[in-house]
């Protein structure tokens, strides 16, 4: 039985219900995914449940950088910067198509956060901590050189700049490929399964009570240990376990907006000052540029977090100030997203001052929860959790598991030796894309999204007589139905293809074809098809319409 095929849902749920697991993980964001891969590759029998779609929480709403976090250096978080700095190169090596090298330009302005000398020193320390290769080390630039890199920057008050190495990814795809790789090590994962409660024996957790949200049925998963990697929902589960005491989460909202690249035609990523003393990113990505982020305390509904008109205006004002000829307005916003940082609360500190370090909580009932941290550090967070669980196995069951080796496991479609191989493969794919009369950028999108899995997608598309756009969308859907546990149209348009954020205008032309295909595969009635269509259209409206 293929545990990645959507059609096998009932069999997978049956196995979750009837088999006994070493470890159950609650939460299919990057943290849960990383733990599933680490634990299963060390030989543990693992189950993972996600109440919505994989990566639908914070792990599809980040700035999508695999980065060391230059600003944490300023807050003297040296250990954090070293750990995530070193992780960047590892994650890049594991999936070079998905985690791409991206030079970051840091313009230095009069009265800005960073002075010339302190930037030069800071970036040198940053490179040193992250063990950056000689050729990628930071370069300091004069005003003229900075403007050569980015001619549309504000000239007034510009003192020069620094350019340094970072990486760009797609957080949702990174999460999904990690889950898929864990499944190669026999982990079982399922989305739309909510952990509703815990099962106790002598006041110790021995499993999880689950609800299949697609069929509204319940079942139980029994296991030796339970880890909650529920991100912003971690405290809700600690409360359910009656163990919410001491440190707790503080949720900070971060929004991003997307504009057509021609409206902000930057040549590389830029990390720039905004007037209130914070800093923001502008990142080019195929036919768009995305901008963000905000950092504000959040007390609303954690299941429905959206970028508001005020968030959008704040980001636009900051951007227009650094790129004065752009004159961006809310009408330029093509898409947007907002997510919650599950930070560990620190008395007297503002959202942006609070540490991004992760924290593990262990309750007397045996519930292990992990929150905080960064997308970039997911592998090390997973290692810490699985080391902890391994020790418990040794002590309580005299059972031994080996050491972490996820730094040697390539992710999903990432079977490339280097980024140069990714570019070579992209050229091959481009030839097919041109034959199909699709835009060249589609080749980049496909390879960056699916890696070598594009071979199968193209082979499927080539068999079709339909218009190329439809044929390609259906070929992608077929891949996702066979290998990525897709169950709703939004799973496809958001977490699997990223179209909702980065190519929103391409959804409507293929929407009906995708709905029809899913209707056939899942045997949906017309009411369900309408529900799916409405969900996509409402999401398009929420993301693109910040005008109020």
Query: Contact region for ligand FAD (CB under 6 A) — 58-66, 318-326, 446-454, 502-510?
Result: 58-66
Chosen residue from 112, 318, 339, 412 binding ligand FAD by CB under 6 A: 339
Q: Round to whole Å and give the CA distance between 430 and 498.
A: 20
DSSP per residue over 442-488, as a string?
A: HHHHHHHHHGGGHHHHHHHHHT--S-HHHHHHHHHHHHHHHHS---S
From the CB of 191, what's the least distance to ligand FAD, in Å?
A: 9
Choose between 27 and 107: whose C-beta lies nearer to ligand FAD: 27
Chosen residue from 6, 40, 58, 453 binding ligand FAD by CB under 6 A: 58
The interaxial angle of helices 508-522 and 468-483, nearest 10 deg, is 40
Residue 65 lies near ligand FAD (rule: CB under 6 A): yes
Across 274-416, the runs of DSSP E, i.e. the strands, are 279-285, 288-292, 296-297, 335-344, 358-362, 368-372
| Cα angle 522-446-426, degrees, rounded to a multiple of 5 | 150
CB 376 within 8 A of CB 68: yes
Choose between 433 and 486: whose C-beta lies nearer to ligand FAD: 486
Choose between 105 and 457: whose C-beta lies nearer to ligand FAD: 105
From the CB of 60, what's the least distance to ligand FAD, in Å?
A: 7
Residue 29 lies near ligand FAD (rule: CB under 6 A): yes
Q: What is the SS3 assignment for 3-47?
A: CCCHHHHHHHHHHHHHCEEEEEEECCCHHHHHHHHHHHHCCCCEE
CB-count exposure of residue 501 (10 Å: 0-12, 13-18, 19+): buried
Residue 30 lies near ligand FAD (rule: CB under 6 A): yes
Residue 254 lies near ligand FAD (rule: CB under 6 A): yes
CB 213 within 8 A of CB 194: yes
Residue 61 lies near ligand FAD (rule: CB under 6 A): yes
Choose between 58 and 444: whose C-beta lies nearer to ligand FAD: 58
Q: Round to whole Å and give the CA distance between 36 and 406.
A: 11
Residue 373 lies near ligand FAD (rule: CB under 6 A): yes
Residue 71 lies near ligand FAD (rule: CB under 6 A): no
Choose between 29 and 161: whose C-beta lies nearer to ligand FAD: 29
Tell me, residue by residue from 275 to 314, as one string, x for binding to ligand FAD by CB under 6 A and - for no binding: ------------------x---------------------
Residue 31 lies near ligand FAD (rule: CB under 6 A): yes
Which positions from 179 through 238 interact with ligand FAD, judged by CB under 6 A? 194-195, 229-233, 237
Choose between 319 and 506: whose C-beta lies nearer to ligand FAD: 319
Residue 340 lies near ligand FAD (rule: CB under 6 A): yes
Q: Is 198 helix (H, G, I), strand (E, B) or coil?
A: strand
Residue 50 lies near ligand FAD (rule: CB under 6 A): yes
Report the Cα 247 to chain-centroid distance in Å: 25
Q: Round to whole Å and give the CA distance between 379 and 373.
A: 11
From the CB of 91, what's the least distance to ligand FAD, in Å?
A: 10
Query: Contact region for ligand FAD (CB under 6 A) — 282-290, 371-379, 430-438, 460-468?
Result: 371-379
Task: Pick the closest to residue 429 from 410, 411, 449 (CA basis).
Answer: 449
Chosen residue from 71, 92, 173, 341 binding ligand FAD by CB under 6 A: 341
Q: Is 66 helix (H, G, I), strand (E, B) or coil?
A: strand
Residue 28 lies near ligand FAD (rule: CB under 6 A): yes
Query: Contact region for ligand FAD (CB under 6 A) — 5-13, 48-56, 178-186, 413-421?
Result: 48-56
φ, ψ for residue 249, nearest 5 deg: -80, 150
Query: Contact region for ligand FAD (CB under 6 A) — 64-72, 260-268, 308-316, 473-481?
Result: 64-72
Q: Round to whole Å and give the CA distance between 188 and 171.
A: 21
Query: Contact region for ligand FAD (CB under 6 A) — 336-344, 387-395, 417-425, 519-527?
Result: 336-344
Q: Cis (ω within 30 of 0) for the bond into 228?
A: no
Residue 85 lies near ligand FAD (rule: CB under 6 A): no
φ, ψ for residue 223, nearest 5 deg: -155, 160
Both tokens assigned to 24: 């159950």
Chosen residue from 56, 113, 224, 494 binding ligand FAD by CB under 6 A: 56
Chosen residue from 40, 59, 369, 390 binding ligand FAD by CB under 6 A: 59
Binding positions for ligand FAD, rule: CB under 6 A: 26-32, 49-52, 56-59, 61-65, 67, 194-195, 229-233, 237, 254, 293, 339-341, 373-376
């Amino acid at each position: 039985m293929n545990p990645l095929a959507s059609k096998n849902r009932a069999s997978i749920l049956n196995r979750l219900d009837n088999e006994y697991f070493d470890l159950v993980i609650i939460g299919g964001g990057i943290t849960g995914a990383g733990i599933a891969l680490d634990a299963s590759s060390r030989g543990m029998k693992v189950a993972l449940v996600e109440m919505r779609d994989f990566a639908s929480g914070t792990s599809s709403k980040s700035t999508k950088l695999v980065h060391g976090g230059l600003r944490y250096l300023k807050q003297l978080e040296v250990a954090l910067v070293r750990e995530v700095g070193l992780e960047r190169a590892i994650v890049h090596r594991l999936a070079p198509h998905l985690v791409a090298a991206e030079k970051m330009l840091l313009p230095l302005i009069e009265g800005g956060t960073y002075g010339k000398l302190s930037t030069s020193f800071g970036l040198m320390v940053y490179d040193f901590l992250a063990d950056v290769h000689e050729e990628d080390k930071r370069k300091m630039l004069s005003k003229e050189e900075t403007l050569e890199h980015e001619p549309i920057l504000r000239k007034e008050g510009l003192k020069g700049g620094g350019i340094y190495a970072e990486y760009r990814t797609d957080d949702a795809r990174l999460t999904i490929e990690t889950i898929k790789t864990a499944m190669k090590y026999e982990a079982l994962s399922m989305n739309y399964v909510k952990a509703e409660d815990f099962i106790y024996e002598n006041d110790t957790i021995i499993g999880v009570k689950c609800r299949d949200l697609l069929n509204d049925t319940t079942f139980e998963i029994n296991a030796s240990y339970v880890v909650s990697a529920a991100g912003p929902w971690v405290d809700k589960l600690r409360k359910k376990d009656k163990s919410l005491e001491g440190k707790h989460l503080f949720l900070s909202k971060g929004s991003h907006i997307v504009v057509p690249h021609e409206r902000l035609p930057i040549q590389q990523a830029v990390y720039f000052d905004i007037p209130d003393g914070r800093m923001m990113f502008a990142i080019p990505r195929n036919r768009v540029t995305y901008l963000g982020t905000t950092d504000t305390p959040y007390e609303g509904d954690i299941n429905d977090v959206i970028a508001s008109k005020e968030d959008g205006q704040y980001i636009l004002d900051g951007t227009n100030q650094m790129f004065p000829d752009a004159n961006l307005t809310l009408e330029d916003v093509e898409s947007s997203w907002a997510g919650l940082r599950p930070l560990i609360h620190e008395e007297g500190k503002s959202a942006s001052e609070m540490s991004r370090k992760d924290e593990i909580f262990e309750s007397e009932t045996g519930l292990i929860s992990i929150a905080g941290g960064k997308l970039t550090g997911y592998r090390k967070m997973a290692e810490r959790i699985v080391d902890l669980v391994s020790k418990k196995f040794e002590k309580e069951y005299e059972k031994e598991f080996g050491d972490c080796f996820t730094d040697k496991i390539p992710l999903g479609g990432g079977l490339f030796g280097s980024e140069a191989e990714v570019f070579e493969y992209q050229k091959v794919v481009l030839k097919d894309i041109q034959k199909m009369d699709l835009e060249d950028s589609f080749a980049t999108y496909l390879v960056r999204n699916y890696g070598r899995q594009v071979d199968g997608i193209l082979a499927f598309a080539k068999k079709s007589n339909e218009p190329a756009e439809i044929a390609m969308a259906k070929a992608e859907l077929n891949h996702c139905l066979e290998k990525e546990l897709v169950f709703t149209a939004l799973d496809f348009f958001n977490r699997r293809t990223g179209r909702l954020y980065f190519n929103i205008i391409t959804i409507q032309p293929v929407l009906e074809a995708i709905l029809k295909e899913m209707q056939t595969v899942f045997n949906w009635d017309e009411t369900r098809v309408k529900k799916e269509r409405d969900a996509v259209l409402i999401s398009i409206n929420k993301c693109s319409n910040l005008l109020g």
